A = this chain, B = another copy of it.
Amino acid sequence: MNANTAILLISCPDQRGLVAALSGFVAAENGNILHLDQHVDIEQNVFFARMEWELDGFRIPRDRLPEAVAQLATPRRMKWELHFSEQKPRMAIFVSRQAHCLYDLLARHEAGELEAEIPLIVGNHADLQPAAARFGIPFRVIPADKDRRAEAEREEIRLLEEHGVDTIVLARYMQILSGDFVRRYPNRIINIHHSFLPAFPGAKPYHSAHGRGVKIIGATAHYVTENLDEGPIIEQDVVRVSHRQTIEDLVRQGRDLEKVVLARAVHWHLHKKILVYNNKTVIF
């Protein structure tokens, strides 16, 4: 688990010999492949792969690796991302007033479960400042009402850049982000929506679920795109409910879903297990 590894994420038109080319590339330079997972979308004829290998003993030094990967990738029209396990992602958490997802992430982080630095928590309200303080993480209040959203986002971007943040987790942050903001962090902003999307998008999904009389409620973690609640779905889970549950019961049961669904999505993102294609996710 703690080996110093490289991770290559690939997508390209399907063609013969792709796995042989990928695995041969590592084997030829004395690398040891830990994981090689591939998937072919037969309908779209697209090949996806995630390859992770140990850098110990691998003959290509890290600074020359991007060039070597490019030589492999370009003739095969591969889109690729290269990551190194040593470089810890830097993750900001955005919150509003509800504490459950924040506490859950902070407790996981303290337990060593999340491979990331958390340099910053942003709240549009001050309510969760004490929670952040307990775990010793800087908390900034940036009100984000409609009339000052642009100003708020400028401040947020400045802070995110100052702290070198590459991943943003919206932990029940009940504000809409602008297209400009979202485009700066493509597939790097993870939101938790409190319904089983595409059912019940928008506000108050537990009220809608209760009104419709569904027998199962859900939660959905997804990457944020410009269209609200329509980004690539990373993870979903559900829990059974009955006519006996009030809206308050749904909210309470839903919180448990939200926590665990968001945490799984964050975990996979941090471990570079997610590839986005056609507004869908491949989870390796």
Q: A interface vs B, CB < 8 Å?
A: 1, 16-17, 19-20, 23-24, 26-27, 30-43, 99-100, 103-104, 107-108, 110-111, 113, 134-135, 196-200, 212-216, 218, 232-238, 240, 242-244, 246-248, 252, 256, 260, 263, 278-283
CB–CB A39/B238 < 8 A: no
Chain B residue nearest in CB terms to A215: B236
CB–CB A107/B99 < 8 A: yes
Max chain B C-beta neighbours (<10 A), residue from A31, A213, A233:
A213
A213 touching B242 in the complex, CB below 8 Å, given contacts A16-B32, A19-B33: no
CB–CB A215/B242 < 8 A: no
A selection of 18 A-B contacts at a CB cut-off of 8 Å is A16-B33, A19-B33, A20-B26, A23-B24, A34-B40, A36-B38, A37-B37, A41-B243, A99-B107, A100-B107, A100-B111, A104-B107, A198-B200, A198-B212, A198-B214, A213-B279, A243-B282, A243-B283
Chain B residue nearest in CB terms to A34: B40
CB–CB B196/A216 < 8 A: yes
Chain B residue nearest in CB terms to A200: B198
A232 CA to B78 CA, complexed, in Å: 40
CB–CB A280/B213 < 8 A: yes
Q: Which residues of B contact A104 (CB under 8 A)?
A: 104, 107
In the complex, how many angstroms separate the beta carbon of A57 from the nearest chain B beta carbon? 9
Chain B residue nearest in CB terms to A213: B280
In the complex, how many angstroms separate the beta carbon of A141 from the nearest chain B beta carbon? 20
CB–CB A256/B260 < 8 A: yes
Chain B residue nearest in CB terms to A103: B107
